[in-house]
Amino acid sequence: MLPEHQQVRLNRSGSNDCVDLARPPEGVPGVREYARFPAHHDGALVVTAAKLPFADNPGYLYQLTPEGWLKNEVDYILLREPLPVRGGFWYVVTFGGGADLCGSWSVDATHPN
């Protein structure tokens, strides 16, 4: 039985991304994994705000499939732009390029449950 469809709020932060966050799974771009979530329903991930301690801040959305982590239909994250996700899959959100400055970080987003 699936949970009732709703948007889930994701608010994460910390004082040092190098200590707080793991590296992304093998094959997923980015320097740090900022979130991992299951989507039980189709919908969209929307990153509403991000404070990132990198020289370059690209963001990526990857989907876990039986073949491993694959680029989502739209994988490059832009603030406040909805990225489609499909129910029945796990997703990972990563950010970072260039030097990791090991500083404070935060990410605010919504996604379907």
Domains and CATH numbers, the chain: 9-112 (2.60.120)
Strand arrangement, sheet containing 89-100:
32-39, 89-100, 54-65, 68-76
Reply yes or no on whether the pLDDT at 62 is more than 90.
yes
* Stretch among 10-14, 19-23, 72-76 having the lowest mean pLDDT: 72-76
**3-state DSSP of 17-56:** HHHHCCCCCCCCCCCEEEEEEEECCCEEEEEEEEECCEEE
pLDDT tens-digit readout, 73-103: 888 999 999 999 999 999 999 999 888 999 9
Q: What is the pLDDT of residue 98?
A: 83
Q: What rounded mean pLDDT belongs to the chain?
A: 94
Reply yes or no on whether the pLDDT at 1 is more than 70.
no
Q: What is the pLDDT of residue 74?
A: 86
Rounded Cα distance, 19 and 7, in Å: 29
* Percent of the chain at pLDDT exceeding 90: 85
Average pLDDT over residues 105-112: 97
Asked whether 59 and 95 are in contact (CB, 8 A), the reply is yes
Q: What is the pLDDT of residue 4?
A: 81
Reply yes or no on whether the pLDDT at 2 is more than 70.
no
